[in-house]
């Protein structure tokens, strides 16, 4: 029996593959390599290049590898890009997830774990931590594409044997502490990766997008979760489904926030390097404060954070960034 990981050559998916291997699981990776890397898939893991929307390909590999659970990461994840090219997001995230669900249900697979996002909430009504029962009102095509997928998963489960866990990610950052995986995307836009690149001189400076928000230091506040804790949440979700769990939706964060300025200070401190930081205008669509209420994940799935320190997240992200530089030099 194997676990199918879609998007397993990407940032979060590749960490998931390592965690599954660490638990002695058989893994099959399906990835179209649009943003992932073939080399990110560990040696010995079955890798198939292709789309989750390719029904015959997916049903074939489910049968061939005796897949009993699907963890679905594959998708497009850049919010500003989704505003410019919404139909790409509705195709890659919504339409392809619909086809994947159809294949999964028709193949008789009953365990499905879906990568969702805090973007399904849009601008929260309150400034405090967001609970799962908050209003769902996405502000970007990315968030809408994921919310539509959540609805499809829910409805498919109502009309079939499908059981599911949907995990809504807050700000995922960091890298595997053993240096086996990390965020390798070119043209990074995410704060911690951008700051690490600036610390290592890969970019001359970085910009703070707005320092006049109604937050303690004027910059936006986010709930940064270490990628290893995030994938561990998926592993406990898999156990929940294997033990007969029916359905579960939960936030993935630490119920606390750090500001953009605090993150930049942490990167300077951990790296021991100063770098130029420029104050710029607000980035369209940014919400001042986004913090998870992660109580449900901890209480119902007995998930325990193990890497909940900003310095640790930054340390691991920096180490991976250094590794990428070394790889480039030796190539
Ligand atoms: N940010 C920034 N400079 C950068 C990248 C990000 O000031 O070079 C800010 C961004 O405006 C937001 C926060 O950092 O307030 C987190 O942004 P990111 O893109 O990492 O994640 P998001 O919360 O948008 O998913």
**Domain match, 280 and 266 both:** yes
Tens-place pLDDT, residues 210-239: 999 999 999 999 999 999 999 999 999 999
**Domain match, 26 and 84 both:** yes
Please tell me the distance between residue 7's alpha carbon and the centre of ligand 1 in angstroms: 23
Which residues 6+ apart lie within 8 Å of 195 measured at CB?
206, 263, 264, 267
pLDDT band (50, 70, 90) for residue 319: very high
In this model, does residue 35 exceed pLDDT 90?
yes
Question: Which ligand 1 atom minimizes the distance to the CA of 290?
Answer: 23
Catalytic residues: 142
Q: What does the pLDDT read at residue 188?
A: 87
Tell me the mean pLDDT in the region 236-247: 98
Burial of 163 (0-12, 13-18, 19+ CB in 10 A): buried
Task: Please indicate, yes or no, if residue 290 is contained in any of the structural domains.
Answer: yes
Q: Report the domain count for the chain.
A: 2
CB atoms within 10 A of CB 133: 9
The domain in which residue 122 lies consists of: 2-172+224-252
Q: Give CA–CA dist 213/196, Å, rounded.
A: 24
Tens-place pLDDT, residues 271-316: 999 999 999 999 987 889 999 999 999 999 989 999 999 999 999 9
Q: Which of 119, 221, 222 to probe ligand 1 with, by most ligand atoms within 8 A of CB?
A: 222
Tell me whether strands 258-259 and 221-222 are parallel, antiparallel or unpaired: antiparallel
**Domain match, 73 and 122 both:** yes
**Domain match, 79 and 159 both:** yes
Secondary structure of 17-67 in HEC code, one letter for each residue: HHHHHHCCCCEEEEECCCCCCHHHCCCCCEEEECCCCCHHHHHHHHHHHCE
Question: Which ligand 1 atom minimizes the distance to the CA of 190?
Answer: 20
Ligand 1 site: residues with CB under 6 angstroms?
Answer: 79, 171, 189-191, 194, 206-209, 220, 222, 260, 283, 286
- Closest residue by Cα to residue 230 from 190, 171, 178: 171
Please tell me the distance between residue 190's alpha carbon and the centre of ligand 1 in angstroms: 6
pLDDT band (50, 70, 90) for residue 29: very high
Question: Which ligand 1 atom minimizes the distance to the CA of 219?
Answer: 15
What pTM value is reported for the model?
0.97
CB atoms within 10 A of CB 38: 11
Ligand 1, atom 10, lies closest to the CA of 209
**Domain match, 218 and 247 both:** no
Tens-place pLDDT, residues 168-199: 999 999 999 999 999 998 888 999 999 999 99
């Amino acid at each position: 029996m194997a676990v199918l990981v879609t998007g397993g050559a990407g940032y979060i998916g590749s960490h998931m593959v390592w965690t599954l291997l660490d638990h002695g699981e058989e893994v099959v990776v399906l990835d179209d390599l649009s943003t992932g890397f073939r080399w990110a898939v560990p040696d010995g893991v079955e890798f198939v290049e292709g789309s989750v929307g390719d029904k015959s390909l997916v049903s074939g590999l489910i049968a061939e590898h005796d897949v009993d659970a699907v963890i679905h990461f594959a998708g497009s994840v850049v919010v500003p890009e989704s505003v410019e090219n919404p139909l790409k997001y509705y195709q890659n995230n919504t339409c392809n997830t619909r086809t994947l669900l159809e294949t999964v249900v028709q193949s008789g697979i009953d365990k499905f774990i879906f990568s969702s996002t805090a973007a399904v909430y849009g601008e929260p009504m309150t400034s405090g931590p967001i609970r799962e029962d908050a209003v769902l009102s996405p502000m970007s095509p990315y968030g809408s594409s994921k919310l539509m997928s959540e609805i499809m998963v829910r409805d498919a489960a109502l009309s079939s044997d499908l059981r599911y866990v949907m995990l809504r990610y807050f700000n995922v950052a960091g890298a595997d502490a053993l240096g086996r995986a990390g965020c390798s995307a070119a043209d990074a836009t995410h704060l911690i990766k951008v700051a690490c690149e600036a610390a290592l001189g890969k970019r001359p400076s970085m910009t703070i997008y707005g320092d006049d928000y109604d937050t303690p230091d004027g910059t936006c506040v986010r709930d940064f979760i270490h990628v290893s804790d995030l994938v561990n949440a998926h592993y406990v979700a898999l156990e929940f489904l294997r033990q007969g769990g029916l359905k579960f939706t939960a936030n993935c964060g630490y119920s606390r926030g750090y500001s953009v300025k605090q993150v930049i200070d942490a990167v300077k401190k951990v790296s021991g390097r100063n770098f130029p930081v420029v104050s710029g205008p607000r980035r369209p669509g940014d919400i001042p404060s986004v913090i998870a209420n992660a109580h449900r994940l901890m209480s119902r799935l007995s998930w325990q954070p193990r890497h909940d320190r900003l310095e640790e997240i930054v340390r691991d992200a920096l180490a991976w960034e250094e590794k990428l530089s070394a790889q480039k030099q030796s190539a």
